[in-house]
């Protein structure tokens, strides 16, 4: 403990490195400062310096008398190839506050007591070396090196590009490099119309598009679906669904379907409650079911009494509406399924009044009838007939 206090507070060292190395030695020394032999690697780790620095500083401390080589037999138990050098810290006799206790310990270890002649006072630490240019003014910094290469003068006009007082080819300025003598014109972007986009789609895109998806091409099917959606917003289609179902409706129109028939197929029945899928999926299913059957022909249905030449125009239009409604009703009676309380609306399968879905549903219900409910029809010809598909 005493050697550590001396190295930390009273030893005449020059700098922090010497104090750290001296404290690393004092940590393993006896109270009289003898028999300190940590390795150079251990001292370097404690003092946070390089081992070469430890070796150099130990020579300096030995030359100034702060440490001296001690009894090397103290480290004789360590193998020779790993054995460190033993040092004694030359703590002055006058520094010890209780020299009698230190000498009593030395006597117990078989050593002679310390004397002022054996441990004289140490000389003060020499002044710390300073830089040779301390206190002298610093030299002026050298001028920055001129960059070589293409020199582009700053733009001082709104037109952009580079300017030069000379016209013609590239000019070589005195300091080197090249300059662009021809300014580049600034052409801001113009809001030009897009000729490849139809005006109707352009207007629809300006109004917000179709839910972030590209607009559908204008076709008879798309126009009919948009008209149906305008009359009943519940059946309004947008985006890719509008495009795909528009192609379907256009094909059905070419096959002989009328707009009134298609509107009846799409919006003639209310939406199921609750709606478990999208409206687009419901419309697609209704169109797909209707397309399985033949297209309604205008020649199959009576058109009513002939039009009188003196009949007003509005009466003629009312007659056309009545005839169209009669055609739709007749088509539904002859070609649509009447299953599910008359609300199915799918095309009938050949030779039946039901569609395939309703036939399968009724057949499945018949097979799930409990045995014994009607013993006269279970088993036998009557039972087999009852389980046939309608």
Average pLDDT over residues 230-237: 88
Q: Indicate if the pLDDT at residue 71 is higher than 60.
A: yes
Instruction: Please give the DSSP secondary-structure letter assigned to residue 352.
Output: S
Q: Indicate if the pLDDT at residue 331 is higher than 80.
A: no
Whether the Cβ atoms of residue 235 and residue 266 lie closer than 8 Å to each other: yes
Closest CA to 253 of 284, 233, 223, 215: 223
Average pLDDT over residues 361-368: 70
Q: Which residue has the tokens 């209707």?
A: 290
Distance CA 364, CA 41 (A): 92
Distance CA 375, CA 377 (A): 5
Q: Indicate if the pLDDT at residue 39 is higher than 80.
A: yes
Q: Indicate if the pLDDT at residue 381 is higher than 90.
A: no
Q: Indicate if the pLDDT at residue 361 is higher than 70.
A: yes
- Return the percentage of the chain with pLDDT > 70, whole number: 61
Q: Which residue has the tokens 């014109």?
A: 185
Sign of CA dihedral 68, 71, 72, 77: negative
Distance CA 117, CA 99 (A): 14
Average pLDDT over residues 66-95: 93
The pLDDT value recorded for residue 96 is 93
Indicate the pLDDT class of residue 132, thresholds 50, 70 and 90.
Answer: confident
C-alpha distance from residue 272 to each of 159, 289, 343, 344, 358 (Å): 65, 16, 11, 11, 17
C-alpha distance from residue 315 to each of 225, 271, 291, 308, 322 (Å): 28, 33, 33, 10, 10
Q: Indicate if the pLDDT at residue 239 is higher than 80.
A: yes
Indicate the pLDDT class of residue 385, thresholds 50, 70 and 90.
Answer: very low
The pLDDT value recorded for residue 213 is 47
Indicate the pLDDT class of residue 306, thresholds 50, 70 and 90.
Answer: very low
Distance CA 169, CA 47 (A): 69
Average pLDDT over residues 230-256: 88
Distance CA 58, CA 18 (A): 8
Q: Indicate if the pLDDT at residue 279 is higher than 60.
A: yes
Q: What is the pLDDT of residues 87-97, one digit of tens each?
A: 999 999 999 99
The pLDDT value recorded for residue 257 is 86
**Domain residue spans of the chain:** 2-108, 200-291, 296-335
Specify the higher pLDDT residue, 241 or 172.
241
Q: Indicate if the pLDDT at residue 320 is higher than 90.
A: no
- CATH second-level architecture of 2-108? Orthogonal Bundle (1.10)
At 180, list the tokens.
């662009």
Q: Is 69 exposed, middle or buried (0-12, 13-18, 19+ CB in 10 A)?
A: exposed
Closest CA to 331 of 386, 379, 264: 264
The pLDDT value recorded for residue 84 is 94
At 196, list the tokens.
């490849």
C-alpha distance from residue 230 to each of 224, 243, 268 (Å): 10, 16, 15
The pLDDT value recorded for residue 182 is 56
* Mean pLDDT value across the chain: 75
At 213, list the tokens.
């998806």
The answer for 222, left when phi > 0, alpha when psi is -120 to 50, beta otherwise, is alpha
DSSP 309-348: TTS-HHHHHHHHHHHHHHHHHHHHHHHB--HHHHT--PBP
Average pLDDT over residues 212-217: 51
Question: In sequence order, which residues have a C-beta less than 8 Å from that of residue 2 and are 6 or more positions away?
Answer: 31, 33, 91, 96, 102
Distance CA 116, CA 230 (A): 117
Q: Which of 175-184, 249-258, 330-339 has the highest mean pLDDT?
A: 249-258
String of b and e for 116-132 (b: at least 16 CB within 10 Å)? eeebeebeeeeeeeeee
The pLDDT value recorded for residue 359 is 76
Whether the Cβ atoms of residue 102 and residue 96 lie closer than 8 Å to each other: yes
At 176, list the tokens.
């080197």
Helices (H), 34-139: 40-47, 51-63, 99-108
Instruction: Please give the DSSP secondary-structure letter assigned to residue 257.
Output: -
The pLDDT value recorded for residue 149 is 59
Q: What is the pLDDT of residues 171-201, one digit of tens each?
A: 555 555 555 555 566 565 555 554 444 454 4
Average pLDDT over residues 79-84: 92
Indicate the pLDDT class of residue 379, thresholds 50, 70 and 90.
Answer: very low
- The region of weakest confidence among 43-57, 152-166, 279-293 is 152-166
Specify the higher pLDDT residue, 42 or 254.
42
């Amino acid at each position: 403990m005493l050697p550590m206090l001396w190295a930390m507070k009273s030893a005449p060292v020059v700098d922090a490195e010497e104090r750290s190395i001296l404290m690393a030695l004092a940590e393993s020394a006896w109270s009289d400062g003898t028999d300190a032999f940590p390795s150079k690697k251990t001292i370097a780790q404690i003092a946070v310096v390089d081992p070469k620095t430890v070796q150099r500083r130990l020579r300096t401390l030995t030359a100034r008398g702060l440490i001296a080589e001690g009894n090397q037999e103290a480290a004789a138990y360590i193998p020779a190839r790993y054995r460190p050098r033993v040092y004694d810290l030359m703590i002055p006799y006058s520094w010890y506050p209780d020299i009698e206790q230190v000498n009593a310990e030395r006597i117990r270890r078989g050593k002679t007591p310390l004397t002022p002649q054996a441990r004289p006072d140490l000389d003060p630490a020499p002044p710390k070396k300073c830089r040779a240019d301390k206190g002298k003014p610093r030299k002026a910094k050298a001028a920055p090196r001129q960059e070589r290469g293409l020199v582009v003068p700053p733009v001082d006009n709104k037109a952009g590009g580079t300017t030069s007082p000379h016209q013609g080819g590239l000019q070589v300025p005195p300091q080197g490099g090249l300059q662009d003598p021809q300014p580049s014109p600034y052409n801001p972007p113009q809001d030009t119309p897009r000729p490849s986009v139809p005006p109707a789609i352009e207007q629809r895109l300006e109004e917000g598009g179709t839910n972030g998806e590209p607009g559908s091409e204008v076709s008879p099917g798309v126009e009919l679906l948009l008209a149906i959606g305008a009359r009943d917003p519940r059946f309004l289609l947008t985006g890719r669904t509008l495009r795909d179902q528009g192609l379907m409706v256009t094909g059905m129109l070419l096959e002989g379907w009328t707009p009134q028939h298609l509107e009846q197929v799409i919006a003639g029945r209310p939406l199921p409650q609750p709606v478990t899928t999208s409206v687009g999926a419901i419309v697609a299913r209704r169109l797909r079911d209707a397309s399985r059957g033949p297209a309604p022909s205008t020649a199959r249905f009576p058109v009513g009494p002939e039009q009188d030449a003196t009949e007003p125009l509005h009466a003629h239009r009312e007659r056309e509406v009545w005839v169209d409604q009669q055609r739709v009703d007749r088509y539904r009676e002859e070609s649509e399924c009447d299953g599910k309380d008359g609300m199915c609306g799918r095309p009938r399968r050949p030779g039946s009044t039901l569609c395939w879905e309703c036939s399968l549903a009724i057949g499945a219900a018949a097979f799930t009838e409990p045995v014994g409910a009607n013993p006269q029809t279970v088993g036998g010809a009557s039972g087999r007939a009852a389980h046939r598909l309608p």
